[in-house]
Structure 1
Amino acid sequence: MPNVPIVKKRIKFIVISSCSLILLVILYRSFLKHKTNGSQSIQNFDKDDWTANSQIGEDLVKDFTNVPQHITNQQLLNQLEHAKVQISILEDRVRALEASTPRKYPQVKYLNYKNRKRILITGGAGFVGSHLVDTLMVQGHEVIVADNFFTGRKRNVEHWLGHENFELIHHDIVNPLFIEVDEIYHLASPASPPHYMYNPVKTIKTNTMGTINMLGLAKRVMAKVLIASTSEVYGDPTVHPQPETYWGHVNPIGPRACYDEGKRVSETLSYAYAKQENVKVRVARIFNTYGPRMHMNDGRVVSNFILQALRNETITVYGNGKQTRSFQYVSDLVDGLISLMASNYSQPVNLGNPVEHTIEEFAWIIKKLVGGKSEVKQTDAVEDDPQRRKPDITRAKTILNWEPKVPLQMGISRTISYFRRELERSDRFQKDSKKYFDSPDLERSQHSRQNFVPDKT
């Protein structure tokens, strides 16, 4: 009897091994699902699905264990095509099984109805907002996120979707929102120059009409509201470091004015409502913040430098690099916001890191932590770019007993790890997408799958 060619033997071995592995994975996942899920017993398992999956696996094994001696290359290719379709169907069913598995959420503290608060976070799917959501959820509160997803992303809060204490509303706060809440964290607004300059009129509307809507909601339901202001209200400061009593030095018609003046008006509105309508307001002036979930291409110092270093590109420093900034890690900011909301202090409070670095120093710090072959070079300065920025946090220390705790190198290392994972994910997605859409076999594979009917399923 003639021997089967080595190539055919290898193909048979690969296909049989793949099918066996898939069946084992299905069996193992099904076992875990019904072992750990107390609400379902093993008797409730969908026997039809299991029979169908088993039948597909048996068909695959039969196809390739009973290869006739006289089989041609074309027939072998047809059987391979048939196997591809079968495996694809198995993959779909594995995904369906995974989707039906109950979600596991981070552990949250239990609070009774007297201590549990309903908290609205506008912009809660954004960088800072999503970290605030995590902290408040773990503390046991009910959290409602309102976001129009201009800069926010559902992926930032997807780990809470479906939780009984969490609700996500796709809503633009330029329009009124009618809900019942105890506290409001008003964080909604694009915060990076490329984002707020993209649509300056909308940025102003968000910080004026949006703030009016939130203050009106707070007035109606007698809720406490925290307004997320910014260090940009100080403009290009002539006082250093900047205390809360400094009125600022802002260009009202410059490229940053839509954000700078929008936040200044937001503060003015807050204190007008506090004086006239007795609304309980808190105002946080937030200085430069960094950490995981930052936008990769938001044009800020941290994200720009880390991305350029990870890609071995030139690290570009705007101007002479002598401008100074003070960077705080996002977890420190979240602690400060929660402490401010819980306090009885109604005047503006700086939340930032008083440790000052030049932009050039910061570029070299990131280059050292990332490694690689990037060079640091200077480029043209940006219009109205503040030359010095450092908060005076005496008020935060005194009133809130708050100051930043996360060291710069630790925070930057965590952020670099996040950006590295994001780059890998992005590159993998692009690679897979290209592989899929550029595949010459795609049309044939789809056609085969559409016309294929499993034998006994």
Structure 2
Amino acid sequence: MNYLGNIRANSSRKTTYKGSYSLYNNQPKRRILVAGGAGFLGSHLCEALLNAGHQVICLDNFSTGLQRNIAHLRRLETFTTIAHDIVQPFDLQIDEIYNLACPASPPHYQSDPVHTTKTCVLGSLNLLELATRTGARILQASTSEVYGDPNVHPQVESYWGNVNPFGPRSCYDEGKRCAETLFFDFHKKHNVETKVVRIFNTYGPRMRPDDGRVVSNFIVQALKGEDITIYGDGSQTRSFCFVDDLIDGFIRMMASPSSLTGPVNLGNPGEFTIGELAEKVIGLTGSRSKIIHRPLPVDDPRQRRPDISLAMQELGWRPKVNLASGLLQTIGYFDHLLAQSTRELEELT
């Protein structure tokens, strides 16, 4: 069945987060810094925090973050944008910090690997020093990539990982591992209230069309009627978490007791092969795209699935959005975006 008729009818609606506002209801409103706030995840987080009544400062160097992601927030007096790279020190008075500032897709973080490492390490250091000066609680958005190509499945937080320290993905994988080290050492040495979450593959509206990650790649190719490219034989697995569920996990983690420092896995434990994902996207878009295969990239993980027992126990959190529902929302976003781009191109010619 081709769902694009219904998708197009609803694709212009803004995404509105409907998560755990109640976690903040009995707490004073806060001044919150979201580093990387114009990115895919950051913009959804800014929106959620604003909807909960907080003052939000979006800090972004706009290397991969987009102005359009936060355009609808600029009319709010409680929202401020600062163009800044966290590799450089800065000073603000804030109550909470979310560190989401780093390119997360391989094409983007590999385009300048040295700066990616600096963002992870020097950026985290600057934010932790800011938290030390201001007494702010700070959350680090780490990644399942710290597990590398795992020898333990599903991945539990106690697993140390299997990471190549000098491969093409190392700037991100090892950068995030070092960032975690800094967070735990600042907690121990300076008594900073730190939180660390490890994000597993997340998707949803506001992903970039050129993101290079598998969900956005497949959807854009299907909508354009292009061949869908699978790297490898398609048997490798991933677990896909819809963005609203992840943001709910962020907020729950930030509001948790100070004794819970993490790391805590946040992801959807439903496990799918890449081949299964491609077939789902083709079916949901009604596309006639064919699947083609290309060589598997170096160090691409064979399996990825989170054990979320800790998040369920300590945060009362588990994902609610199934893959088909989340894909339909994401397809609608990309369909609207591609149609808009086509109209703009036609107007210029």
Q: TM-score, normalised by structure 2?
A: 0.92
Query: Are 1:271 and 2:184 counterparts?
Result: yes
Q: Relative to 1, partners in 2 of residues 1:228 and 1:112: Cα closer, same or farther, differing over 3 Å?
A: closer
Query: Are 1:194 and 2:107 counterparts?
Result: yes
Measured in 2, the distance between the counterparts of 1:413 and 1:113 equals 35
Query: Are 1:338 and 2:257 counterparts?
Result: no
Query: Are 1:281 and 2:188 counterparts?
Result: no
Cross-structure match for 1:396: 311
Which structure ranks higher in relative contact order (CA pairs < 8 Å, sequence separation ≥ 6)? 2
Query: Are 1:216 and 2:129 counterparts?
Result: yes
| Offset of residue 141 of structure 1 | 0.4
1:313-328 matches, cutoff 5 A: 313-328=226-241
| Amino acid corresponding to residue 172 of structure 1 in structure 2 | D
Query: Are 1:427 and 2:342 counterparts?
Result: yes
Q: Relative to 1, partners in 2 of residues 1:112 and 1:242: Cα closer, same or farther, differing over 3 Å?
A: closer
| Offset of residue 114 of structure 1 | 6.9
| Offset of residue 409 of structure 1 | 0.6
Cross-structure match for 2:149: 236
Q: TM-score, normalised by structure 1?
A: 0.70
| Offset of residue 378 of structure 1 | 1.5
- What do the CA deviations read for 1:193-218 (whole angstroms, capped 9, x no partner)? 00000000000000000000000000
1:294-443 matches, cutoff 5 A: 294-344=207-257, 345-434=260-349
Measured in 2, the distance between the counterparts of 1:224 and 1:232 equals 24
- What do the CA deviations read for 1:390-448 (whole angstroms, capped 9, x no partner)? 000000000000000011111000000000001001111111112xxxxxxxxxxxxxx
| Offset of residue 372 of structure 1 | 2.2
Other structure's SS at 1:157 match: helix
- What do the CA deviations read for 1:139-172 (whole angstroms, capped 9, x no partner)? 1000000000001011111112142111100111
Measured in 2, the distance between the counterparts of 1:127 and 1:116 equals 24
1:62-211 matches, cutoff 5 A: 115-211=28-124
Cross-structure match for 1:82: none
| Amino acid corresponding to residue 380 of structure 1 in structure 2 | P
Greater share of residues in strand: 2
| Amino acid corresponding to residue 300 of structure 2 in structure 1 | D
Q: Please, what is the CA RMSD of the aligned residues? A: 1.7
Aligned partner (choices 197, 202, 206) of residue 293 of structure 1: 206
- What do the CA deviations read for 1:28-73 (whole angstroms, capped 9, x no partner)? xxxxxxxxxxxxxxxxxxxxxxxxxxxxxxxxxxxxxxxxxxxxxx
| Offset of residue 134 of structure 1 | 0.7
Q: Give structure 2 stretches of 5+ with no counterpart.
A: 1-15
Q: Give structure 1 stretches of 5+ with no counterpart.
A: 1-105, 435-457
The structure with the largest alpha-carbon Rg is: 1
Measured in 1, the distance between the counterparts of 2:226 and 2:299 equals 26
Other structure's SS at 1:143 match: strand
| Offset of residue 113 of structure 1 | 12
The size of the alignment, in residue pairs, is 328
Regions of 4+ moved over 3 Å: 111-114
| Amino acid corresponding to residue 342 of structure 2 in structure 1 | D
| Amino acid corresponding to residue 124 of structure 1 in structure 2 | G
Greater share of residues in helix: 1
- What do the CA deviations read for 1:249-288 (whole angstroms, capped 9, x no partner)? 0000000000000000000000110010000100010000
Measured in 2, the distance between the counterparts of 1:375 and 1:112 equals 50
